[in-house]
């Protein structure tokens, strides 16, 4: 079957186009049939618009065709735009179809995607994931994710970084810590990369500033929380001729650009779900590890031994204290990866390192790297490598 090419997203059909003709395409979200007048809500990726079918106005062929339409049928519609003050939905615009093409009929859906009184269990939703993704909130999540990644790239390209892609099937651990997934690599065993870290460091020796949005990184840990995954998208950057303070500065730009872009593009849609974006301001607060422990001990009633990592509830207390995103800097050297550079102020127990914390979560970490070969070898020896 042939049908005309889609000319507009539903969100682009605005009252200014009153009297114009458009071709829309999408899925039947809902039908309200009042007999001689019928309203079809058409959904595409960008939103929902109302099609109005009216006896005496709509052509007979369209009238009879729309009799048999059902929810989630895929259709293409040619029609005229009419500015309508009475309708609350779809920006006060309705479309009177002159032609309707049914691309594909839908069966009854196995789950509720309309967000009424029935909330489907996650497990059932995942079973019918392609249907579940029709829910507007899910489509929004994917579109925001895409914008976030675009904003990260934008900020980093502006800072002179280039994007690289490192191997994901590797022979051994690149960073230590988390367990690796083993995979059969022909006649031998290989592992899925947990981090692009060491590749990144090698790349700076020629390309200076690189980043990778790893698709994805793998950690073989049997954790079962909503903030730990076995497979996740990581953003890694590495810069030559720079230290941890320079990197925090870049990170601030990246974070602010992400919030700013998402706010500009999605503030209206997010408001429907009660989400309001606050764009953080530079510079982010920087507290030292020692200060953080002190604050937690005095105001949070949380005692942490020097040398231990700040636990999750500690980060939550500090987030409450500071509100905005903040850095914890100068972690104990032994707490960080072997390539992290000590000493700070000639104290080898303290490193040039930072964590970025937002909303009680550690969302990024970084450090100056050791650039003297002998020190690197020494650091590896200390860890028993």
Partner RNA sequence: GCCCCGGUGGUAUAGCCCGGUCUAGUAUGGCGGCCUGUCGAGCCGCAGACCCGGGUUCAAAUCCCGGCCGGGGGGCCA
Residues that bind RNA (CB under 7 A): 30, 32-37, 39, 50, 52, 54-56, 70-71, 84, 86-89, 94, 108-112, 114, 116-124, 177-178, 219, 221-225, 227-230, 232, 312, 362
Which of 87/245 has CB closer to RNA? Answer: 87
Beta carbons within 10 angstroms of residue 281's beta carbon: 10
Minimum separation from the CB atom of position 347 to RNA (A): 24
Minimum separation from the CB atom of position 109 to RNA (A): 6
Which of 132/352 has CB closer to RNA? Answer: 132
Which of 162/233 has CB closer to RNA? Answer: 233
Which of 154/175 has CB closer to RNA? Answer: 175
SS3 content of the chain, % helix, strand, coil (to 5): 30, 30, 40
Minimum separation from the CB atom of position 231 to RNA (A): 8
Minimum separation from the CB atom of position 36 to RNA (A): 3
Strand partners, 239: 209
Alpha-carbon distance of 135 to 355, in angstroms, equals 35
| Cβ atoms of residues 71 and 109 within 8 Å | yes
> What DSSP line would sit under 345-367, residue for residue?
TTBTTB-SEEEEEETTEEEEEEE
- CA distances 68 to 40, 73, 105, Å, are 12, 10, 10
Which of 33/163 has CB closer to RNA? Answer: 33
Which of 262/357 has CB closer to RNA? Answer: 357
Alpha-carbon distance of 368 to 240, in angstroms, equals 10
- CA distances 219 to 167, 215, 227, Å, are 15, 13, 13
Which of 229/240 has CB closer to RNA? Answer: 229
Question: Tokens in use for 64?
Answer: 């009879």
What H or E segment, with its residue span, contains residue 214?
Answer: strand 209-218
Minimum separation from the CB atom of position 153 to RNA (A): 21
Tell me, what DSSP letter sits at residue 11? G
Minimum separation from the CB atom of position 371 to RNA (A): 24
Minimum separation from the CB atom of position 125 to RNA (A): 7
Beta carbons within 10 angstroms of residue 295's beta carbon: 17
């Amino acid at each position: 079957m042939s049908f005309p090419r889609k000319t507009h997203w539903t969100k682009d059909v605005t009252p200014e186009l009153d009297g114009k003709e458009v071709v829309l395409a999408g899925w039947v979200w809902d039908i309200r049939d009042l007999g001689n007048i019928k309203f079809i809500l058409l959904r595409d990726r960008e939103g929902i618009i109302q099609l109005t079918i009216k006896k005496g106005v709509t052509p007979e062929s369209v009238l009879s065709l729309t009799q048999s339409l059902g929810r989630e049928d895929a259709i293409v519609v040619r029609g005229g735009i009419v500015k309508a003050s009475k309708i609350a939905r779809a920006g006060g615009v309705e479309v009177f179809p002159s032609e309707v093409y049914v691309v594909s009929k839908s069966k009854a859906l196995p789950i509720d995607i309309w967000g009424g009184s029935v909330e489907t269990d996650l497990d059932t939703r995942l079973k019918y994931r392609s249907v579940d993704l029709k829910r507007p909130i899910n489509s929004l999540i994917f579109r925001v994710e895409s914008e976030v990644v675009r904003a990260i790239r934008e900020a980093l390209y502006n800072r002179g970084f280039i994007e690289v892609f490192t191997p994901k099937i590797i022979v051994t651990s690149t960073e230590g810590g988390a367990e690796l997934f083993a995979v059969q690599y022909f006649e031998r065993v290989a592992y899925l990369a947990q981090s692009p870290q060491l590749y990144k460091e090698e790349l700076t020796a020629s390309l200076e500033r690189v980043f990778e949005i790893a698709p994805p990184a793998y950690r073989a840990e049997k954790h079962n929380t909503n903030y730990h995954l076995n497979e996740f998208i990581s953003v890694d950057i590495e810069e030559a001729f720079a230290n941890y303070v320079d990197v925090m500065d870049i990170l601030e730009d990246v974070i602010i650009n992400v919030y700013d872009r998402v706010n500009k593009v999605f503030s209206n849609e997010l408001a429907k779900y009660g989400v309001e974006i606050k764009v953080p301001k530079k510079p982010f607060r920087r507290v030292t590890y020692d200060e953080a422990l002190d604050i937690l001990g005095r105001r949070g009633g949380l005692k942490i031994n020097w040398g231990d990592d700040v636990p999750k509830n500690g980060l939550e207390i500090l987030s409450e204290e500071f509100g905005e995103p903040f850095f914890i800097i100068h972690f104990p050297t032994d707490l960080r990866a072997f390539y992290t550079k000590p000493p700070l102020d000639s104290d080898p127990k303290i490193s040039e390192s930072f964590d970025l914390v937002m909303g009680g979560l550690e969302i990024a970490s970084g450090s100056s790297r050791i650039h003297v070969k002998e020190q690197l070898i020494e650091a590896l020896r200390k860890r028993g490598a």
